[in-house]
Structure 1
């Protein structure tokens, strides 16, 4: 028998979002940067320089030349108009004195594991939504929401030295909205009868699932706030968005969301990719690309084995210097988690891809996954050539 379905009023769902996560991890390493506009997205060569007196010299946005994109920024940088996903050159115009740091995903994954373990020790029903956010089902915990939120935040701080923001409501949709309302280091608790006063005045884009295009279309209909969306004629929404999305818009605006917290889900694919410091040519940089390609295949194999899956479909992803992207797939007769087999299949994909232009990104993907019992070890039989 399945678990009993709780009424919306009896459910307590939290959304926990780490505050400016990547940037905050870097501030643990470089505390002298606290209070300054800092952005993450520089090249690995832009590591801080240690001076003879022990102090550090950091790269500045004004000195950046290239086409990079920012991964995140501190709240001080955001106050200057610099946000994640922005081109680094545009950020340099807005905040030329901003500090530029390279990304360090190993460090971010380390702190991600630590904060999730700290939360799980208090509330184990967790849905992992990425490196810096989770949903938590608190319905079965006999403790008031405010003290529970404070206890979770304290545990995260003790485990990582980092702050987070938490929204607690009867469902995931509302909690996602609320975790963003009091950032950073905030707690927002909302009951269903508070939706008109606290949620309806907010812009429609505050609803996760309403993107820029839908937001523009709603604005064209004179719908700017969530309250206006809730009051909109369902027939009007359907005529512009179709039945399914219009129904979802109407429900979301009224705070209706019955989705459970999913504590386990099967992955659709496992992939590894890398963006190069400089564009590499398939012929001129053949040796370097072959080494990177083989390493990606090995890491995909290790990921499969660690997670207990085998793959029937191996694919590659190439992004060229003009930002055009192509993918190719190869189906295997039997599922595999063997690195050498993955490397050969990825090589077959590569044979069918255009290789005249320089590359800025290379990726390998394992799809069509099948769960298996037990784990193996991956060994490369031969490294092979990138181009065969």
Structure 2
């Protein structure tokens, strides 16, 4: 059989409770306990203080760690260990709610620098074995097994086990792998045997392993679509697969209806993309307390300026510029609003981004208190650091915001 005749085998690899697992390498005495990551940020100063007191991080008594039950604030959980998840605690959950569910959980601060370090390490291990890899974030990737030695053996299990063992040896971390004919099924399969599992799905397994699952298990069926399907009496993927294409198009539109029909039958021809360009970069922050324009104008202004500066720093560091600038607000009632404007010339300059974003902000209702503020730059192209020029032409018909002659950072926020 020539390589082109090989059946397609795509893997989805997901690190197990990634942030929490990295922390357990630092604090092995917390293994097997409910642990939550979130709230404050880890600092070298805090770690140094712990070392001075206890001599080694692994020597800190379990009873000396902070508990989730004592948390007061508005933070959200980044991740939790599997023992904590048994209490209903999960990622993106408000920490006050989680504290009611599992007050005895140990609370650790977030250390993104350390997580990125381990993320790079496990991905390098994968690339050394299977070079066709799509990076999907800090803790998950897709891998094309099709032509890699061992990628066809036992449906991909042999290669998946080899990668698991290599990651464990290099980083001390575990991962779960799903291998299937495409990315859609592989992602679903990677959840079947967590943690540290391998799940193989073949085309003939669709009826027995995929169709009994809830529709929401399909990546791309969100809360609204899931609720609409339930209203129509459809809860399982098999029930969705039994629906005709015309019926789905009638209820969900031509594009989404056709997509639902395809994915319910396990069809997905998306390639594993080894390199992709970002379409936007953004920074946002959730406040410790709700802020109001009237009482907290100076504080909001400082935060807004810093967000613009951080987006500009990201663009400059990664070599991009953009011409669409937008803002995002979430009010105290959790309703969100966005505004954006596209300008004539590309930019990666903080002052320019601040000025344009400020014009967007003037179009946002500001009667309510605000809990989140964000700034986004889109329509990205590569930026030539030598000539300070973008690699694309000005956008025909683009609008230039008013107020360009004023000092951008001295403009009123609202």
Q: Which category describes the TM-score, using the shorter chain as reference length?
A: 0.7 to 0.9
1:110 aligned onto 2:117:
yes
Secondary structure (helix, strand or coil) at the match of 1:121 reads helix
Counterparts of 2:321 and 2:102, CA distance in 1: 47
How big is the shift at 1:266? Answer: 2.5
- What is the alpha-carbon distance in structure 1 between the residues aligned to residue 356 and residue 228 of structure 2? 44
Equivalence for 1:65:
72
* Shift in alpha-carbon separation, 1:373–1:122, aligned structure 2, 3 A: farther
Alignment-derived partner of residue 93 in structure 1:
100
Per mean C-alpha deviation after superposition, the further-off stretch among 198-207 and 159-168 is 198-207
**Over residues 231-271 of structure 1, what are the superposed CA-to-partner deviations in whole Å (9 max), with x where a residue is unaligned?**
34444434433343333223222211111112222322111
The answer to whether residue 19 in structure 2 is matched with residue 16 in structure 1 is no
Of 167, 179, 196 in structure 1, the residue corresponding to residue 178 of structure 2 is 167
Q: CA deviation at 1:203?
A: 2.8
Q: How far, CA to CA, are the matches of 1:193 and 1:127 in structure 2?
A: 26
> What displacement does 1:180 show?
0.7
Per the alignment, residue 144 of structure 2 pairs with 137
Give the drift of 1:112. Answer: 2.0
1:158 paired residue number:
169
Distance 2:202 2:209 in 1: 10
State the secondary structure of the residue aligned to 2:379. strand
State TM-score, norm by structure 1: 0.84
CA offset at residue 291 of structure 1?
Answer: 4.3
Q: Distance in 2 between matches of 1:59 and 1:149?
A: 37
Report 1:301-316 matches (<5 A).
301-316=312-327
Q: 2:23 aligns with which of 23, 26, 39?
A: 26
Q: Match for 1:249 among 260, 282, 285?
A: 260
Secondary structure of the residue that 1:42 maps to in structure 2? strand
Aligned pairs for 1:182-261 within 5 A: 182-261=193-272
User: What CA distance in whole angstroms lies between the structure 2 residues aligned with 1:184 and 1:42?
Assistant: 25
Report how far residue 179 of structure 1 moved.
0.6
Contact 1:43–1:277 (CA<8 Å) still a contact in 2?
no
Structure-to-structure mapping, 1:115-130, within 5 angstroms:
115-130=122-137
CA distance in 2, matches of 1:228, 1:351: 48
Q: Secondary structure at the match of 1:372?
A: strand
Is the partner of 2:211 in helix, strand or coil? Answer: coil
Structure 2: gaps spanning 5 or more residues: 55-59, 389-406
- Cα distance change, pair 217–327 in 1 and its aligned pair in 2 (3 A): closer
Q: Distance in 2 between matches of 1:217 and 1:343?
A: 40
After TM superposition, the score normalised by the length of structure 2 is: 0.80
Compare 175-184 and 198-207 and name the one that shifted more: 198-207
Residue 36 (structure 2) pairs with residue 39 (structure 1): yes
Distance 1:43 1:191, change over 3 A: same
Q: Give the equivalent residue in structure 2 for 1:271.
A: 282
Q: Distance in 1 between matches of 2:78 and 2:27?
A: 18
Decide whether aligned partners of structure 1 residues 326 and 231 sit closer, same or farther in structure 2, where only a CA change above 3 A counts.
closer
Distance 1:376 1:134, change over 3 A: farther
| Post-superposition offset of 1:187 | 1.0
Q: 1:317 to 1:236 in 2, by over 3 A?
A: closer
Residues 292-303 of structure 1 mapped to structure 2, 5 A cutoff: 292-303=303-314
Structure 1 residue ranges without an equivalent (≥5)? none
Q: CA deviation at 1:88?
A: 2.5
- 1:123 is displaced (CA, Å) by 1.7
1:83 has 2:80 as partner: no
